[in-house]
A = this chain, B = another copy of it.
């Protein structure tokens, strides 16, 4: 079956694809850092942020991570990246909020995490700052959104920022350059398979 498409037809199609792709590349002229929001119920928000972290390190960049929710449990990503000389890693939360069952403690943790994030986002040495699961802070009203919008706007020109979590506010969606919505079409966990080390944490 695979061999039935003619070489000419393929060449014609691929030429058109290449032309379109080259046009897009030529049109993309602005050189600056981007802000990326990864939201939605599907698997792949934090893991995508950590993939970009690896990419950045491959280019010799300096990276900072603030984890707003996870923290009580030691994760694979923390174990792996925290040891790297170009990574500054901060896990400020006391675990998931439904584990702590203490709203004031959560608010204090969130504020502490945000203070650190604001400091990092003003620091030119970082090429990438990851604000992992920060959207929950706004969703649960642990943090005001405005300081984050201001920090995004006033950050160093070449800094990339990645924000993750479910239920992002519309103002945050409006503020970022790239917004991927990740849908959970299927999820192994829902079907009774245990969360796997290396996959979910």
Name A residues whose Cβ lies closer than 8 Å to a Cβ of B. 1-3, 5, 7, 10-11, 14-15, 17-18, 21, 24-25, 27-34, 36, 38, 40, 42-59, 61, 75-81, 96-101, 103-104, 107, 127-128, 141-144, 160, 173, 176-199, 201
Contacts and interface: CB of A to CB of B under 8 A. Distances in A.
Contacts of A48: 43-45, 47-48, 51
A68 to B, nearest CB: 14
Nearest to A185: B179
Task: Report the 4 A-B pairs with minimum CB-CB distance, sorted nearest first.
Answer: A58-B76, A47-B51, A56-B198, A58-B80
Contact of A101 (B11, B27, B195): B11
A192 B27 CA distance: 6
A197 B59 contact: yes
Contacts of A11: 101, 103
Given A28-B189, A194-B29, A199 B76 contact: no
Contact of A77 (B5, B42, B51, B142): B51
A49 to B, nearest CB: 7
Contacts of A103: 5, 7, 10-11, 14
Contact of A104 (B7, B57, B127): B7
Contacts of A99: 18
Given A15-B101, A50-B54, 7 more contacts: A2-B107, A21-B96, A28-B193, A32-B193, A51-B52, A160-B199, A179-B186
10 contacts: A2-B107, A34-B199, A43-B180, A47-B55, A51-B54, A54-B77, A56-B197, A57-B76, A58-B79, A177-B187
A198 B46 contact: no
A65 to B, nearest CB: 11
Contact of A52 (B81, B176, B199): B199
B195 A28 contact: yes
